[in-house]
Each structure stands twice: as C-alpha cells, then as structure tokens.
Amino acid sequence: MKKLMKVALLGITLLTVPSVTYAATYLSAFSLSLPGANTSVSTGLGQTKETSGANGQILVTVSKQKFDARQTDEQGNSGDWRRQISKGDTAGLPGNSNQLKGDKMKLTISSNWNATTDSKNGSWKSN
C-alpha cells in the first residue's frame, strides 16, 4: 500500500511540475567591416529559423557609427530594416511571414549615407 501511494504521488508530482521549452536558436558572433555611403554587407547563412516569421535579435559590442540591420532568408525574404543601431544596443530584427522554420538565415547591415568605413562586432540570432 505504501509503495502504491509513493508511485501515485510521484506521478501526480511529475504531471504538475511546469515544463519550460527553449528556442534552439543560438547567438552567432559577427565581425564585419562596413563601408560607408549607404553600402550593405552580410554574414553567411549561419542561422536556421526556428519559428516561422519570428523576430530576431542583434547585440552590438563594437561600432563607432550608427547603422541599420535586418535578417534575410536563403530565398531573399527580408524583414524590415531596424534603423539607427548603436554600440551597446540590443535590438529586435523584424521577421517576415515568408521566412519559414528551417530556412537558412543571414544578417545584413547597412551604413548611413554619410558614414565612413567602420567595424561592426556583436552577435545575433534569427529565432
């Protein structure tokens, strides 16, 4: 009887403990030299989309000038530009409903029209 009670109690406990699910997307480091005059450069297709249409994130550790960023999938579907990102910023990168789970993703950054060549370092994820 005691053994049956312990098994029942264990079963109830396991059913009532909340579970937590984490996205499998990880932060990828980037280090890019961004030319000025409204030029853009991209990382390779190093991220995999975990949730269709999801917003991504960028964390900037090195940048002397503001810049814009967006995420793009292997088919060329891009989210809207996140504008005027600075060193120290953690910013969302808008997703696109055509970016599907499993798509390979890249980060594209763009300089302002009056910017000069500048190094951009940090990390990002596509979610």
Residue labelled with tokens 């503001």: 66
β-pairing verdict for 40-42 and 67-73: unpaired
Region at 112 (left for phi over 0; alpha for psi -120 to 50; beta for the rest):
beta
Q: Please give the structure tokens belonging to residue 36.
A: 């000025």
Residue 36 is which amino acid? G
pLDDT at 6 (0 to 100): 56
Domains for the chain: give ranges and CATH numbers. Answer: 32-125 (2.60.120)
Q: What is the pTM of this model?
A: 0.80
Cβ(98)–Cβ(75) under 8 Å?
A: yes
Residue 8: exposed, middle, or buried by beta-carbon count in 10 A (0-12, 13-18, 19+)?
A: exposed
pLDDT tens across the length of the chain (127 residues): 666 555 554 455 444 444 333 344 699 999 999 999 999 999 999 999 999 999 999 999 999 999 999 999 999 999 999 999 999 999 999 999 999 999 999 999 999 999 999 999 999 999 9
Q: Report DSSP state, residue 14.
A: H
pLDDT at 43 (0 to 100): 97
Give the residues across from 59 on adjacent strands.
90, 123
